[in-house]
Amino acid sequence: MTQFHLIIAEGFGINTNILETNIINLSVVIGIVVYFGGGFLTSLLTTRREAIVESLQDAEKRYAEAVERLEVAERRLQEAQEKAQTIRSQGERTATERAAQLRDALREDIERLGTNANSLLSSEKAKIIEQVCSQVVDLSLVRARAEMTNQSFLTTKQHTRVNEEMIERLPQPQLV
């Protein structure tokens, strides 16, 4: 490797040898930066530290708010679940009561229909019996008339004999 030195002023020059100049140049640059930029760097680091602390405090505040909102949401969820359970229980109870009411009403309707059917059957039975009796009486009268027209009326002697037989059949009074 060739070394090339530029000499600009007395005792000061640019060393182009990378191995020799790197450490020296870095120490010079760092020294200048620390000397002239120390206050600025300190101010910059302080500002950065304050921003980080403020961000941390803000994050902690948001975390606390989030925890509080989570607790509120959990309480509301618990209340909603309890209310849902209450509504479910009331619904089941109402459904059971309504079903029992409907069964009772159905039973009453069936009994009423049975009573109405029995009443209707009794009424129809009475009508039929009345019609049959009426027909029997009518047929008996028709037959009796036919017999009377075919036979001559009872003679007085026959009439007397029938009356005497009827009187004999009557119970006799007991004398005390």
pLDDT > 90: what percent of the chain? 35
Cα angle for residues 159, 161, 166 (degrees, 5° grid) = 95
Please list the alpha-helical segments (H only) found in the chain: 18-150, 156-169
Residue 13 — very low, low, confident or very high, per pLDDT cuts 50/70/90? low
Residue 162 — very low, low, confident or very high, per pLDDT cuts 50/70/90? confident
Note the pTM of the prediction, 2 decimals: 0.39
What's the pLDDT tens digit per position in 103-126? 999 999 998 888 888 888 888 888
Q: Token pair for residue 57?
A: 């405090």
The domains of the chain are located at 15-125
Q: Are 27 and 39 in contact (CB under 8 A)?
A: no
Higher pLDDT, 34 or 72: 72
Mean predicted lDDT score pLDDT of the chain: 81
